[in-house]
C-alpha cells in the first residue's frame, strides 16, 4: 500500500519555504524592492499573465488531456529535452581524500567519497583513508534511502558511518576485493516489498544516480534481499556490468576509488531531465526496462511455441488489459461485465492478476503489447511504466483518493507520454454509498475525512471500498479509448509504410 503522507513539495505553500529573496538573487544587500523594481515587476507580471492567456487558450479549445498528449508528441518529435540546461548537483566534483555530503534535498541525502574508500560492514562504516596531515574532515552519518522526510520509515533504515582515517597510522585490514570502478551504496529496506515504493524509492533513483557511469559501477546494497535481486536483476543488469555486493552479508573489505552513498530522487515515478547528465528522461528509463526484459520475453515466446500454446492475435483488434486487484478492497465488483463491454466495443481483452511471485517480465510483456490499461487506484498502477508511450492508461479513482491518484500515477503517466484518463467514480459506484448513505461525510465530503489523518484514509477509502462501475457511464471512456487506439495504429502504420 502506498503511504499517503504528503510531502510539502506538492502544496502551494512550498514557495514560502524555498523562495529566494531578491537580494539573494541579485547579490544586493537590501531585502526590499525599489519603486522602479516594483514597476518593472508589475509590468513583467502583466506580460506573464497575458502570455499565459495565449498559452492556455488551446486547453479550453481542445481539452487538457488532449493537449498534454499532443505536447508530449511534439517534444518527442522536436527533441526539445536535449536542449534543456543541466543543473549540476552538489558534490558532483570533489578532490581526492574528501567526503562531501549534499543534504539540501527534501527526499534524500547524498554523500560522495573520493580516494581510498574501504567497507567495514561489522561497524556499518565506510572508511576513507588519506595521508594528508591537515585533513579535518568530520565523520558523517547517512541513511541511504529516499524518504528522509518520513521519519517513521527512516527509523527502520540502517545508518552508515562515513569516517576519514589516517593511512599512515591505521592498522585496519587491507583490501580483500579491489574494484577499479566507482560504487553506489543504497538500501533496499524501508517500504521495499511494495511495487510502487520499489520503483519510486529504489529502481528509478538508482537509474538517476548511476546511468552516467555507463554500467561501469558496482552496486553495494544495504539490507540486501535475495528476492529483490531475483525480481529486479534483469533491470539492474542494464545499469551495472558487475555483481551486486551485499554490504552486511559480505564481510570482506571492498575497496573503491570513489563511492556515492545514497540515491538521488526527483519526483513521483519520474526523471527530471534538467537534473540528469545527458538530459535523460523517464522514457529513457523505460528503454532500460525494455532492454532488461527483452531476452526473457524472447524465451517466454519460444517456450510457448514449443508447447504449442496459441497466443491471442492482437494485431487486428486493439488490446485492452484489465489490471485486476487481488484481495478484498478496491476490486471491480462487476469486472466480468466490464470485460463483456470492452469486447463489444472492439477490444481483445486480457485480465491480468499479478501476484507477488509473478515474474516481472511476464507483466511487462502483457502491458508492453497493449493499447489500453485499466486499473483501480493502488500500488499496481505503477505498472503504467510498462506501457508504450502514446498508449492509453485509464485509472479508476475511488472516492477519497483523488489527490493520491493524480499525484502518484496521473501526472507521472503524462510525463511518460501516455494518454492518461482519470475516471473518478460517482458516489453510487462506490460500495461505501450503501454502507454510509448519500448524506454521510464519507460520501459527501471525503476531504474532511482525509484531513483527519492517514489512518482514516487507509481504513475507509483504501481498505474498506470496492467499485461497481456504471457501465453506461463508463462506455464513453471505453469508446473514446478504442477510437484513439485505432487512430494511433493507423498513424503508426502510415508512417511505417511511408519510411519503407
pLDDT, residue 305, reads: 78
pLDDT, residue 312, reads: 53
Residue 77 has pLDDT above 50, yes or no: no
For 126, list phi and psi in degrees, rounded to 5. -125, 120
Average pLDDT over residues 185-211: 97
Enclosing H/E stretch for 493: helix 471-499
Would you say 108 and 263 are in contact if contact means Cβ atoms under 8 Å apart?
yes
Q: How far apart are the first and last CA of the chain?
A: 47
Residue 59 has pLDDT above 50, yes or no: no
Phi and psi based region of residue 127 (left: phi greater than 0; alpha: psi -120 to 50; beta: remaining): beta
Enclosing H/E stretch for 455: helix 454-456
pLDDT, residue 185, reads: 98
C-alpha cell at 416: 511518460
477, 483, 486, 491: CA torsion to nearest 10: -110
pLDDT, residue 423, reads: 98
Lowest mean pLDDT among 44-53, 224-233, 274-283: 44-53
**Is beta strand 177-178 parallel, antiparallel or unpaired with respect to 183-187?**
unpaired
C-alpha cell at 367: 502491458
C-alpha cell at 134: 591537515
pLDDT, residue 4, reads: 56
* More confident: 458 or 23: 458
pLDDT, residue 79, reads: 39
C-alpha cell at 104: 539540501
For 302, list phi and psi in degrees, rounded to 5. -65, -40
Locus of grid cell 562531501: 100
Residues in the chain: 500
Query: pTM for the full model?
Result: 0.81
Tell me the pLDDT band of 32, cut-offs 50, 70 and 90: very low
Q: Exposure string (b/e) for 195-232, b if CB count within 10 Å is 16 or more?
A: bbbbbbbbbbbbbbbbbebeeebbbbbbbbeeebbebb
How far is residue 399's CA from residue 444's CA, in Å, rounded to a whole number? 10
Q: Could you report the per-residue pLDDT of 126-179, keeping only the tens digit for each?
A: 999 988 656 667 899 999 999 999 999 999 999 999 999 988 776 667 899 999
- The alpha carbon dihedral of 239, 263, 139, 122 has a sign of negative
The percent of residues above 70 in pLDDT, for the chain, comes to 79
Would you say 258 and 205 are in contact if contact means Cβ atoms under 8 Å apart?
no
Lowest mean pLDDT among 401-405, 458-462, 491-495: 491-495
Would you say 90 and 76 are in contact if contact means Cβ atoms under 8 Å apart?
no
Q: Could you report the per-residue pLDDT of 403-419, keeping only the tens digit for each?
A: 999 999 999 999 999 99
311, 313, 318, 324: CA torsion to nearest 10: -20
Q: Could you report the per-residue pLDDT of 350-365, keeping only the tens digit for each?
A: 999 998 889 999 999 9
Tell me the pLDDT band of 20, cut-offs 50, 70 and 90: very low
Q: Could you report the per-residue pLDDT of 88-110, keeping only the tens digit for each?
A: 778 878 888 999 999 999 999 99
Residue 42 has pLDDT above 60, yes or no: no
Residues 6+ positions from 6 with CB-CB distance below 8 Å: 403
**Is beta strand 319-323 parallel, antiparallel or unpaired with respect to 348-352?**
parallel
Would you say 102 and 162 are in contact if contact means Cβ atoms under 8 Å apart?
no
Amino acid at each position: 500500500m502506498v503511504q499517503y503522507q504528503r510531502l510539502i513539495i506538492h502544496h502551494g505553500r512550498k514557495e514560502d519555504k524555498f523562495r529566494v529573496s531578491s537580494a539573494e538573487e541579485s547579490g544586493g544587500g537590501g531585502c526590499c524592492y525599489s519603486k522602479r523594481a516594483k514597476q518593472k515587476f508589475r509590468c513583467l507580471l502583466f506580460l506573464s499573465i497575458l502570455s499565459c492567456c495565449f498559452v492556455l487558450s488551446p486547453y479550453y479549445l481542445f481539452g487538457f488531456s488532449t493537449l498534454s498528449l499532443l505536447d508530449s508528441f511534439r517534444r518527442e518529435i522536436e527533441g526539445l529535452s536535449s536542449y534543456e540546461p543541466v543543473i549540476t548537483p552538489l558534490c558532483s566534483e570533489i578532490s581526492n581524500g574528501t567526503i562531501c555530503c549534499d543534504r539540501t534535498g527534501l527526499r534524500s541525502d547524498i554523500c560522495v567519497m573520493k580516494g581510498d574508500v574501504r567497507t567495514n560492514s561489522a561497524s556499518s562504516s565506510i572508511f576513507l583513508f588519506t595521508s594528508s596531515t591537515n585533513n579535518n574532515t568530520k565523520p558523517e552519518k547517512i541513511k541511504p534511502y529516499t524518504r528522509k522526510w518520513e521519519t517513521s520509515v527512516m527509523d527502520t533504515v540502517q545508518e552508515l558511518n562515513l569516517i576519514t582515517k589516517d593511512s599512515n597510522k591505521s592498522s585496519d585490514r587491507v583490501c580483500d576485493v579491489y574494484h577499479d570502478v566507482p560504487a553506489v551504496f543504497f538500501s533496499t529496506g524501508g517500504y521495499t516489498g511494495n511495487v510502487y515504493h520499489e520503483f519510486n524509492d529504489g529502481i528509478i533513483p538508482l537509474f538517476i544516480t548511476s546511468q552516467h557511469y555507463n554500467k561501469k559501477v558496482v552496486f553495494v546494497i544495504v539490507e540486501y534481499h535475495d528476492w529483490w535481486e531475483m525480481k529486479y536483476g534483469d533491470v539492474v543488469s542494464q545499469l551495472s556490468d558487475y555483481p551486486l555486493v551485499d554490504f552486511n552479508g559480505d564481510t570482506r573489505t571492498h575497496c573503491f576509488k570513489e563511492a556515492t552513498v545514497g540515491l538521488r530522487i526527483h519526483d513521483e515515478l519520474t526523471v527530471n531531465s534538467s537534473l540528469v547528465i545527458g538530459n535523460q528522461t523517464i522514457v529513457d528509463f523505460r528503454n532500460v526496462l525494455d532492454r532488461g526484459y527483452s531476452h526473457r520475453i524472447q524465451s517466454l515466446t519460444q517456450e510457448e511455441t514449443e508447447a504449442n500454446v496459441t497466443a491471442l492475435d492482437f494485431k487486428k483488434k486493439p488490446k485492452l488489459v484489465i489490471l485486476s486487484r487481488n484481495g478484498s478492497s478496491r476490486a471491480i465488483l462487476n469486472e466480468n461485465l466490464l470485460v463483456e463491454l470492452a469486447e463489444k466495443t472492439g477490444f481483445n481483452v486480457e485480465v491480468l492478476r499479478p501476484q507477488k511471485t509473478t515474474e516481472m517480465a511476464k507483466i511487462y510483456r502483457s502491458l508492453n503489447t497493449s493499447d489500453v490499461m485499466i486499473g483501480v487506484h493502488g500500488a499496481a498502477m505503477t505498472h503504467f511504466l510498462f506501457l508504450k508511450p502514446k498508449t492509453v492508461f485509464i485509472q479508476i479513482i475511488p472516492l477519497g483518493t483523488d489527490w493520491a491518484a493524480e499525484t502518484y500515477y496521473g501526472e507521472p503517466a503524462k510525463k511518460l507520454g501516455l494518454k492518461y484518463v482519470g475516471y473518478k467514480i460517482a458516489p453510487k459506484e462506490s460500495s461505501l454509498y450503501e454502507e454510509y448513505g448519500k448524506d454521510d461525510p464519507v460520501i459527501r465530503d471525503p476531504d474532511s475525512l482525509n484531513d483527519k489523518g492517514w489512518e482514516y484514509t487507509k481504513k475507509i477509502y483504501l481498505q474498506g471500498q470496492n467499485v461497481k462501475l456504471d457501465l453506461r457511464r463508463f462506455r464513453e471512456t471505453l469508446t473514446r479509448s478504442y477510437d484513439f487506439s485505432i487512430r494511433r495504429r493507423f498513424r503508426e502504420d502510415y508512417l511505417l509504410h511511408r519510411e519503407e
